[in-house]
Amino acid sequence: MVLMMLLPCLSFFNVDEKNGMSFSGPVEDMFGYTVQQFENSEGKWVLIGSPLKGQPAKRTGDVYKCPVGHGPSSECIKLDLPEQTTIPNIHEVKENMTMGTTLVANPDGNGFLACGPQYGYMCGSQQYITGICSNVSSSFKVLNSIAPTVQECQQDMDIVIVLDGSNSIYPWDDITKFLKKFLAQINIGPARVGIVSYGDDVGHVFNLSQFTTTQDLVANAEKIPQRTGHKTMTALGIDTARKEAFTPERGARPGVKKVMVIVTDGESHDNHDLSEVVKACEDDGIERFSIAVLGDYNRQNKSLDQKKEDHFFNVSDEAALINIVDALGSKIFALEATSGNHTSSFEMEMSQSGFSVHTSRAGVMLGAVGAYDWNGTVVMQSGNSFKVPKKNTFHDPLVQKYEGMAGYVGYDVQSAYTQAGVFYIAGAPRFNHTGRVSIYRYDGENITITQHLRGEQIGSYFGSILQTLDVNKDSYTDILLVGAPMFMGPERDEQGQVYVYKISKTQPCADPHHPRSDKRERAPSTVLYPPREREQDLLCSLRALAAEGKLHDQDWNQRSPDHRSSTLEFFTHRIISVSDTNFLKVMSRDVAELHAEMTFDLNKINLQQPTCNIQGRDTVCVNAKVCFTYKIKSEKETSTRTEIRYSLTLDSLRAIARGRFRDTDDRKMQRNAIISHHLCTNHSFYMSEKLDFRDPLMVSLDFGLANEDSGPVLDGDLPTSLNKTVSQKTQSNTSG
């Protein structure tokens, strides 16, 4: 699939904002952040996301269902999705999960997906933010929870604490307080803990297999006595732990990660043996974390690999040990997650899957902007299986070096159906600072990039909004819209820009064209979705797309409603109230065509041949015949009977007119009329006594619908005025 750039423009001339429907909610809950039309056996609904519902304490978020067509007193009902959305056998963190940040309907109309990308869970003291989605049925029941990047906490590790018990450690109570807090965050079972204490000599305090619960381990750790001793035999303590503590006889398990936590005052009396002991630990695959209670440790103790600064903690005294417990635990548990076969768990730990969602006949796409150090990715679901792409999937190894650039791949996602198959589309608005859109194939196993579309301006957020359209309803995608909401215009303000790409298999990408922008308009930071089949709840129309499904090569202008409601702001972002974050549902109106023609019964005016007598004076009278043709561009059966208004003006460009209408005895006349399909009216005007025929006499016709607030709206691309001229010699026509 190849995309060709087209001249873009958005138009909203047929949006009926005055007769819309409004649902209100708390501004602090971000009520109305997302909206989705929905229909089931009970009727039509508007689903409204409120991602900060429950703040300031929890901010779990939620989704509301709001009935459509039940009168102004209808209230929205909270669905309580966070309570029903859960993953078993993990320590969930639903606070700040922001449920309702993403909201999409299933393509078959059977239910919808609501996501909370800030959903997290705990592994020990480490919180992972993986995101979660709730699959909701058409009857608003949660069918299942989708969280493909959640991993079971793989804490299968043997941890041996090598504890300095010499006399230089004082007070001992601070050591036991540190042990209690540190051990309390370890899940005994998957993890085992042993303790070795040293001073002049070395002794085993606990074996790895001695305790089966965290509670028993913590209770006994509080009772550990200080070993005492005048010497600090650090190397001996480490080597004894290596040789004896990590043995099957003391509860060590084959194939399980080995971790050693060394707590010392830094004064090692066998410092000459440390290098050899450290190398032996490395050869045995033991990961070491060192805590220096005194500053002298940092100068003399070599038990720590100097390259691994994140494995080293230096505290001023024993009392300060308690302050590093959380950091130490986070390092250990994060280390475990990045080890061995669990690399993807760590790389997806902050994935925020569900930040964006797209559902299609081919499956579900979950944008995961936090994956791989916020470079992002897209999790693909097909059936009951999920595909988590590898780290380098969305970069070209031939021209790019993978770097942690925080590109946010998956900020928005879409799919396109073509004769060549299904293509998937992912936006990365921060890629290379200018943004990028990746188009790729997915065969159920492998992802193949076919094309990249690149932004042209730094900071424009190109690719943050994507939308595909099937213009001619042939089941194939015709148009891809790409939003760059922070695009800087010529006035150095963020006007935004929408790029329109035509999907073609043969045409290359053309050079970008810039749409005209009105500096008074807001940045188009959301490309609004097309209507569902058989519904008229349109939020936006693309003027470039005609009824025949073709794109016209014209110089389009951006347009907004002429009579904007005071409650409607940020129209192209999301439809919110200026006073609070409410949801305003606006309906589309049928588009009508009103054409006009005007003819005269005289080819020219000859004052020497009067045709009428006005108030005893012979003069020339001209009969103007005005005909209107009216039709509604709609596939459904719609009444075409409506009321139109029109006005005629003589010599509109002159201060003093050279004629008057017989009905009004004035240069102007206005009328309303009822029309079904075709209507003709006649209006006669006469010439004044003294005529100046240096230029032709112009008759101007202005016309439109009598009621512009309801019913169909006129096609904004058609003229609503007509000018015709009559002269002494010739007659010419102009239209505008």
326-336 mean pLDDT: 61
Share of the chain above pLDDT 70, in %: 74
Q: Does domain 157-342 have CATH number 3.40.50.410?
A: yes
Question: Residue 340: what residue type?
Answer: G
458's tokens: 């730094």
**pLDDT tens across 462-483, in order?**
999 999 988 888 888 889 999 9
**Residues sharing a CB contact under 8 Å with residue 611, sequence separation 6 or more, in sequence order:** 602, 619, 620, 621
Q: In terms of pTM, does the model score above 0.75?
A: no
H or E element that contains 282 = helix 274-283
Q: Hey, is 388 helix, strand or coil?
A: coil
Task: Say which residue the tokens 């971000």 belong to.
Answer: 30
* Greatest C-alpha distance within the chain: 136
What pLDDT, on the 0 to 100 scale, is given for residue 27? 86
364-372 mean pLDDT: 93
Angle in degrees, CA 219, 224, 229, rounded to 5: 170
Output the CA torsion sign for 277, 283, 284, 290. Answer: positive
305 and 311 in contact (C-beta within 8 Å)?
yes
**Residue 59 per-residue DSSP state:** -
CATH architecture of structural domain 591-735 = Sandwich (2.60)
Among 648, 547, 535, CA closest to 592: 547
- C-alpha distance from residue 28 to each of 22, 81, 114, 584 (Å): 18, 19, 20, 17
Q: Do domains 157-342 and 591-735 have the same CATH topology?
A: no
Instruction: Report the C-alpha gap between 228 and 234 in whole angstroms.
Output: 13
The residues spanned by each domain of the chain are 157-342, 591-735
367 and 412 in contact (C-beta within 8 Å)?
yes
**pLDDT tens across 192-227, in order?**
999 999 999 999 999 999 999 999 999 999 899 999
What pLDDT, on the 0 to 100 scale, is given for residue 247? 95
Side-chain half-sphere CA neighbours of 82 within 13 A:
29
**Residues sharing a CB contact under 8 Å with residue 736, sequence separation 6 or more, in sequence order:** 719, 721, 722, 723
pLDDT tier, 453 (very low <50, low <70, confident <90, very high otherwise): very high
**pLDDT tens across 130-182, in order?**
999 999 999 999 999 999 998 877 668 899 999 999 888 888 888 888 888 88
**pLDDT tens across 713-729, in order?**
888 889 999 999 988 75
Instruction: Report the C-alpha gap between 526 and 498 in whole angstroms.
Output: 9
Cis peptide before 719 (omega within 30 of 0): no
**Across 250-259, 496-505, 635-644, least confident range:** 635-644
Buried b (16+ CB within 10 A) or exposed e, 161-194: bbbbbbebbeeeebbbbbbbbbbbbbebeebbbb
How far, in whole angstroms, is CA 71 from its chain's centroid?
A: 32
160 and 241 in contact (C-beta within 8 Å)?
yes
What pLDDT, on the 0 to 100 scale, is given for residue 298? 44
pLDDT at 367 exceeding the cut of 80: yes
**Across 9-18, 374-383, 440-449, 547-556, least confident range:** 547-556
Buried b (16+ CB within 10 A) or exposed e, 58-68: ebbbbbbbbbb
Output the CA torsion sign for 399, 405, 410, 411. Answer: negative
624 and 734 in contact (C-beta within 8 Å)?
no
Instruction: Report the C-alpha gap between 224 and 208 in whole angstroms.
Output: 16
Instruction: Report the C-alpha gap between 698 and 675 in whole angstroms.
Output: 26
381-410 mean pLDDT: 76
31 and 583 in contact (C-beta within 8 Å)?
yes
pLDDT tier, 91 (very low <50, low <70, confident <90, very high otherwise): confident
